[in-house]
Amino acid sequence: MVDQKSSSMFQTLIQRIMEAARSSDNLCIIGEVGTGKRQAAVSVHRASGADEGRLSIVNCMALDHDNFLSDLFGRVTPDGDLVRKGAVALAEGGTLYLHEVQELTRDSQAALVRFLETKTYRPVGSGMTLSSNVRLIVSSSATLEALVEAGKFRQDLQHFLTPLIIHMPRLNDRLEDIPTLFKTLLFQVGNGRPISIDDDALVRLKSHSYTGNLLELRNLALRCVSSMKDDHVTLKDVEAAIRGTAYFDLADQASEGVYAELARQSGDTQYQAIAAATSPTMLAAPEPEQAAPGPSGADDKMFDDLNQHMSMDKIVGGQAEASGPEAATSAPKAPASAAPAREPKRTEGGPPNLKDMERKYFLDLIEQFDGDKTKVAKASGLNLRTLYRRLKSLDID
């Protein structure tokens, strides 16, 4: 059987997210496209304890300076009428998230430095200076230090943004997570119906090199669902999904049977056997991977639905509410340490999610301290009022 334990790298990532949630310092999330930077930011916010604040998101990609100022600070007419409320105002008392901050122009970088230095801003078209109380989280698909050295990013801004840093692992660095990730994606793109998959197909997925990380894995799941029969994914379905097209050299079709048989006969070494096999030759050039969805489209839905491994917003559950330049979310608080060993309950059709693990964590503490909520609050790093609110949200009496 294929090992379905989560990787130590993923466990470390969850620990880093919880540590960042307990701090109020600015946070920079670094990772390749498709690694889940946006959802990591959502998870940090929801677990941070900014109970009355909201998460306001600005996507910095393709924003010119004027649009960035409007998105960030808002805009008023010459008569003083509000045209647009900015992300800073929407996030007051909560979290401001700048997605792909490395895309900002030099003028926009300078404006962001002034805002971070003074904690004040002016809406575009207004002469009124307003103060702000937000926590800033940014993400970048490039290392800011390298951009500074290349002269593409301000060094002072880099220092403002990086008191805390989280590096998002590539999917190629956590291949042992693929079986659980892929089964969860099948459940999602299959509209919640149970879909089975052969072990040799999962092993083949682990031998693939991913350039698009979770977005690419989701594309493969979509292709498998479109070609499978009887809600069952085979090695042949996975091979066709990886090629991206069903048009391949007919003379090589027979090799697929040999390929699958090689995996079955190899037993514990099937991973090496599949990795070493030659894929069928295609008549045409490979179809490129499907383009990543837009910043507020299907990619957010995908990460919301990934159950245990990358839906880290499931730490406390809930849905984002459209409210900022892209979205704003409310912010309940999460526990201060990882879940202990009691078996968590499982969501229907999927592995245990992080909210269930959090519930198990508090149940263990309550049992350990014989129901003394004051001691439970102290052990979990929460004040008593927040603890009762967390217990109520987890359906714990």
| Dist CA 213 CA 244 (whole Å) | 16
CATH of domain 8-170+310-315: 3.40.50.300
Residue 379 is predicted with a pLDDT of 75
Query: Residue 112: which of 75, 158, 149, 74 has the closest Cα?
Result: 158
What would the two tokens of residue 334 be? Answer: 């999460």
**Helices in the chain by DSSP H: which ranges?**
8-21, 37-46, 65-73, 87-90, 106-118, 144-149, 155-161, 178-189, 199-207, 213-227, 235-243, 254-266, 270-276, 298-305, 354-368, 373-380, 384-393
164 vs 12, 26, 42, 158, CA distance in Å?
Answer: 15, 6, 16, 11
238 vs 138, 221, 286, 371, CA distance in Å?
Answer: 36, 8, 15, 50
Query: Residue 222: which of 186, 262, 169 has the closest Cα?
Result: 186
Q: Are 55 and 91 in contact (CB under 8 A)?
A: yes
Angle at 310 between CA 233 and CA 315, to 5 degrees: 130
| Dist CA 195 CA 230 (whole Å) | 9
Q: Are 6 and 178 in contact (CB under 8 A)?
A: no
Neighbours of 54 (CB within 10 A): 23
DSSP-derived secondary structure for 122-178 = --BT----EE---EEEEEESS-HHHHHHTTSS-HHHHHHH-SEEEEPPPGGG-GGGH
Q: Give residue limits of the domains in the chain.
A: 8-170+310-315, 173-209+213-276, 336-397
Residue 264 is predicted with a pLDDT of 53
221 vs 31, 183, 187, 209, 264, CA distance in Å?
Answer: 22, 9, 9, 15, 22
Q: Are 350 and 307 in contact (CB under 8 A)?
A: yes
Residue 377 is predicted with a pLDDT of 79
Extract the residue ranges of the chain whose pLDDT is less than 50. Answer: 1-4, 245-256, 258-260, 266-347, 349, 351
| Three-state secondary structure call for residue 185 | helix
Residue 361 is predicted with a pLDDT of 78
CATH of domain 173-209+213-276: 1.10.8.60
What would the two tokens of residue 347 be? Answer: 């969501």
Q: Are 280 and 239 in contact (CB under 8 A)?
A: yes
| Three-state secondary structure call for residue 25 | coil
| Residue 190 phi, psi (nearest 5) | -90, 15
Instruction: Give per-residue pLDDT as tens, 326-365.
Output: 444 433 344 444 333 344 444 454 545 566 777 787 888 8
What would the two tokens of residue 205 be? Answer: 């997925």
Angle at 172 between CA 166 and CA 173, to 5 degrees: 50
Instruction: Give per-residue pLDDT as tens, 270-287.
Output: 444 444 443 333 333 333
Q: Are 201 and 239 in contact (CB under 8 A)?
A: no
| Dist CA 244 CA 237 (whole Å) | 10
CATH of domain 336-397: 1.10.10.60
